[in-house]
Amino acid sequence: MDTPAVPMPRDAREREILDSLVGIRDHLLLLKRDRTKYIRTQDVMLIYNQVVQQVRQLNEIRKGERAGENRLDKILESCFQLLSLFFMTIGRTTEAPAAYALTSTIKRLLDHLTESRLFSGKDLDSMAHTLSTLDGVLSNTNEKHSPYMVELLGNREKLCKESLENLRTELATLAGPLREVHEKLISILRSMSSANTKAKFSTNEVQKLQAQLKEIDASRVDGQFRGPDGEPYKGSEKMSDLLDRVLAWSDIVLERKGAIPENFKPVYEKLVSIRNELEKLSITQAWSLRETDLYDYQRELDKIDESRVNGNFLDEDGNPADLYAQRTLLYLIRRSYGYIYYLMISSEPVSEALLPYYNQLQTLKRCLVEVKNSGGVSTVRDLYPYSMKLNSIDNLRVDGKFMVGNDIPEGQGSVNELLAECFDLAYELRIAVEEKPDSE
């Protein structure tokens, strides 16, 4: 993987640590790409402990002093990022290392929201909830995790919370009745940007969205959003400015019809490909996602995002993108980071080795709940397919554990709990049908 051009460490001892971490990172990348077997907890913990040992040595050398970032810091960041995704993959989602990649993504999203000033209360609520969960993870972490990582996570979380609070303060400048209008405008803007990046541009779809904007525009009086007393709402001017911006964008989208300038086509096509792949994963993630796969998407997005100069994209000749191309590319980057965030918070506390059973049981549970809510079954015979599937999964256990060879993968409690819930639901349906009076 490419590493940003940063200086090499001057200290010979740091260069030794760098060589060790490069080897560890490469080992992690090879392990990530091996799909012939599932990722084992003991393999991940062995590598994690190796990284922790290198960090201890680094702290002894630096003794708390940092003289600017060098290549060692970048490689260490890559190791932590990969290990974080490995912890998710093995099902240890509630431990400090698993939070590292998540805080990276949240920070990216918050930086983009701060830059664009285009966000909704729902965006902030979701990230606030996630950061609150991370509070509990960090406060309950134990000594086996590197104090350096815990401190680093604490600092990153603090930065995220500060950004979040600044954005919330900005939303607070809008009067209550304008909050709903604001949410609607942001939703229309995003729907329009999505339509603008589809393989086949739909003029009709964008025109319908523009019609909604004109309805909101028609509710203004003398260019202001006013209350029943005729006075402008608090934040009316800001809301009017947002509406004008979105209306102007709708005109540009209808004019350009998804046509990206040739000099920005390569990066556009790359971003569309990443967005589409992440979108597919968000639909099928329970069956097809290995969290470590997200690393490659993150690295690609980071490189493109960090290539901007003064916020804009430049082509190979150093020419800046026009407003249309810039906004379109930024939308794709932000949407892709949003999918990565969703996939991370959706990660189940179960090893990938047990995910097939866990996913089957989740499907069975949904079916049984649906049957129960629909009035139950007519005969006990109707329950046979569910009972057979449950028993086949139950019979896979050895002494109450799901084994893979001699390994006991993470997530036993979650899978066993789900299995018990399914058995309880099947039993309840059986009792209910047996207690029904004979209607024949």
Q: Residue 206 sits in which domain range?
A: 176-259
In this structure, of 142-151, 191-200, 326-335, the range with the lowest mean pLDDT score is: 142-151
Helix (H) or strand (E) holding 320: none
The residue ranking higher by pLDDT, 146 or 412, is 412
DSSP 101: H
Q: Give a yes or no: residue 386 inside a domain.
A: yes
The residue ranking higher by pLDDT, 289 or 100, is 100
* Three-state SS annotation for 238-297: HHHHHHHHHHHHHHHHHHHCCCCCHHHHHHHHHHHHHHHHHHHHHHHHHHHCCHHHHHHH
8 Å CB contact between 321 and 261: yes
Q: Give a yes or no: residue 399 inside a domain.
A: yes
Q: Give a yes or no: residue 291 inside a domain.
A: no
8 Å CB contact between 225 and 232: yes
Q: 236, 259, 282: which is the final residue of a domain?
A: 259
Residue 27 has pLDDT above 70, yes or no: yes
User: Band of the pLDDT at 138, cuts 50, 70, 90?
Assistant: confident
Residue 2 has pLDDT above 70, yes or no: no
The reported pLDDT for the residue numbered 332 is 97
pTM of the full structure? 0.91
Which residues does residue 232 pair with via DSSP β-bridges, in sequence order? 226
Residue 309 has pLDDT above 50, yes or no: yes
Q: Give a yes or no: residue 248 inside a domain.
A: yes
| pLDDT tens string 81-112 | 999 999 999 999 989 999 999 999 999 999 99
8 Å CB contact between 312 and 326: yes
User: Band of the pLDDT at 280, cuts 50, 70, 90?
Assistant: very high
Environment class of 367 (CB within 10 Å of its CB; exposed 0-12, middle 13-18, buried 19+): middle
Q: How many domains does the chain have?
A: 2
Instruction: Report the percentage of the chain scoring pLDDT > 70.
Output: 96
Q: Give a yes or no: residue 247 inside a domain.
A: yes
Average pLDDT score over residue span 142-157: 80
8 Å CB contact between 274 and 226: no
Q: Apex CA 276: angle with CA 275 and CA 281, to 5°?
A: 95
Average pLDDT of the chain, as a whole number: 92
- Structure tokens belonging to residue 96: 């400090």
Residue 340 has pLDDT above 50, yes or no: yes
Q: List, in order, residues 6 or more apart from 8 with CB less than 8 Å away.
A: 15, 18, 70, 71
The reported pLDDT for the residue numbered 67 is 65
Average pLDDT score over residue span 226-238: 93
Residue 440 has pLDDT above 50, yes or no: no
Q: Give a yes or no: residue 396 inside a domain.
A: yes
Neighbour tally for 178: CB within 10 Å: 21
Residue 439 has pLDDT above 80, yes or no: no
Q: 259, 286, 305: which is the final residue of a domain?
A: 259
Residue bearing tokens 């006075």: 231
User: Band of the pLDDT at 1, cuts 50, 70, 90?
Assistant: very low
The reported pLDDT for the residue numbered 66 is 66
8 Å CB contact between 313 and 320: yes
| pLDDT tens string 45-87 | 999 999 999 998 988 888 867 667 889 989 999 999 999 999 9
Q: Report how far residue 363's alpha carbon sits from residue 369's, in angstroms, rounded to the nearest whole number.
A: 10
Q: Report how far residue 392's alpha carbon sits from residue 419's, in angstroms, rounded to the nearest whole number.
A: 11
Q: 205, 236, 259: which is the final residue of a domain?
A: 259
Torsion, CA 83, CA 85, CA 87, CA 93, rounded to 10: 140
User: Band of the pLDDT at 211, cuts 50, 70, 90?
Assistant: very high
- Structure tokens belonging to residue 47: 């590598």
Neighbour tally for 82: CB within 10 Å: 25
* Region of 311 on the Ramachandran plot (φ > 0 left; ψ -120 to 50 alpha; else beta): left
Helix (H) or strand (E) holding 109: helix 96-116
Residue 3 has pLDDT above 80, yes or no: no
The residue ranking higher by pLDDT, 138 or 140, is 138
Q: Give a yes or no: residue 244 inside a domain.
A: yes
3-state DSSP assignment of residue 423: helix
Q: List, in order, residues 6 or more apart from 111 with CB less than 8 Å away.
A: 163
The reported pLDDT for the residue numbered 62 is 84
Q: Give a yes or no: residue 409 inside a domain.
A: yes
